Amino acid sequence: MNATTMEMQTDFAQELQKNTIGVRLYQKRFGQSKSLNDEQIERAAEEFDAESRAISASKKLFAKHAAISKVKKTLGQARNYWKAVTIDFPEDGIRLMRTQNIPAFEEMMTKYTEELNSALDELDEAYEEIKTLAKKDLGTLYCEADYPRSLKDRFAIGYDYIQIRPSEMLADLHPELYEREKAKMASMFQEAVIKAEEDFAKEVTKLLDHAIESLTPSPDGKRKRICDATFDNFQAFFERFKTMDTGSNPALSEAISNLQLATKGIDGNIVRKSGDVKSIIAERMQEARAAIDQVIVVRPDRKFSL
């Protein structure tokens, strides 16, 4: 990496530090499995003529149920949204979001919280039915004490914002330590810029590989399934890239911009019906894949501790 590149990355890191905020997401989930107790382990060991110390086992507390699936789906959607509007930061659990996106983030998280509360109301209404199914499935392994009176307070979504900068109080109390912490955080933001480039490149490369594989004829001539999601996922990626691109790698930005133009207006129905269109789209994506390979170099992960 030459001096000019390092200077550019430092500038983008400073911009990122100035215009982003750390966001940490919390999710509370009730465990849906429980380890067997010692007596149950002993019984299992006898069944297989084994030593109890060599056995570990658990039981599923709940069978599949629509009410449980709805709660899990909402939690998953909230987590996916949080990841979609942020980029990674080299501290576990923290991701960076542009401060201008805070109102939209608040709105969406309020929406997911409301949806979760509604799903939990439905789960509470179905709770006795769910436990009845569990009794049937678990037999003598069923234990009423494994189940709380209600599940409404056993699932939750939460988040907080984190200002990632050294305390100004430290500047007065210990100027040398303050400067050291300031330099370390600047380095972490520079790492975040580089990591964002790599993550975007990996993500779009994965999309391209899947699309190219779907569009390329099988050796045996069998028709491959081409889903609309194959192309819809590109549009979702372009929106995410537009929101969080640091602008630190112009060649990567240009390659993704060219790919967006190449995939604009693709009609899945036409692609599925026309072998010629498949070939044209596959060729465009192979060109985009080669362009992205040329502009990014993946480095090993680095870890920081605050």
Longest dimension (CA), the chain: 73
| Residue 218 confidence (pLDDT) above 50 | yes
Percent of the chain with pLDDT over 90: 42
Q: Which residue has the tokens 């920081």?
A: 304
| 14, amino acid identity | Q
181-205 pLDDT per residue, tens: 888 888 899 889 888 888 999 999 9
Query: CA-CA distance, 86 to 202, in Å (whole number)?
Result: 16
pLDDT band at residue 20 using 50, 70 and 90 as cut-offs: very high
257-301 pLDDT per residue, tens: 988 888 887 777 777 777 777 788 888 888 888 888 887 654 444
pLDDT at 297: 57
DSSP lists the bridge partners of residue 60 as: 33
pLDDT averaged over the chain? 86
What is this structure's pTM? 0.80
238-267 pLDDT per residue, tens: 988 988 887 788 888 888 998 888 888 777
Are 256 and 216 in contact, with CB atoms under 8 Å apart? no
pLDDT at 186: 87
In the predicted model, what is the mean pLDDT of residues 16-40?
92
pLDDT band at residue 9 using 50, 70 and 90 as cut-offs: low
In the predicted model, what is the mean pLDDT of residues 10-36?
89
Query: Which candidate, 203, 202, 199, 253, places its Cα nearest to that of 8?
Result: 253
Query: Which candidate, 243, 265, 245, places its Cα nearest to that of 254?
Result: 245
DSSP lists the bridge partners of residue 25 as: 159
Q: Characterize the bridge pairing of strands 20-28 and 94-98.
A: antiparallel
Are 204 and 259 in contact, with CB atoms under 8 Å apart? yes
pLDDT band at residue 305 using 50, 70 and 90 as cut-offs: very low
Query: CA-CA distance, 163 to 160, in Å (whole number)?
Result: 10
Q: Tell me whether residue 191 is exposed, middle or buried, using C-beta atoms within 10 angstroms of its C-beta: 0 to 12, 13 to 18, 19 or more.
A: buried
Q: Which residue has the tokens 């069998």?
A: 222
49-71 pLDDT per residue, tens: 888 889 888 999 998 999 999 99
Are 98 and 23 in contact, with CB atoms under 8 Å apart? no
| Residue 130 confidence (pLDDT) above 80 | yes
| Residue 105 confidence (pLDDT) above 70 | yes
Query: CA-CA distance, 262 to 278, in Å (whole number)?
Result: 13
pLDDT at 304: 39
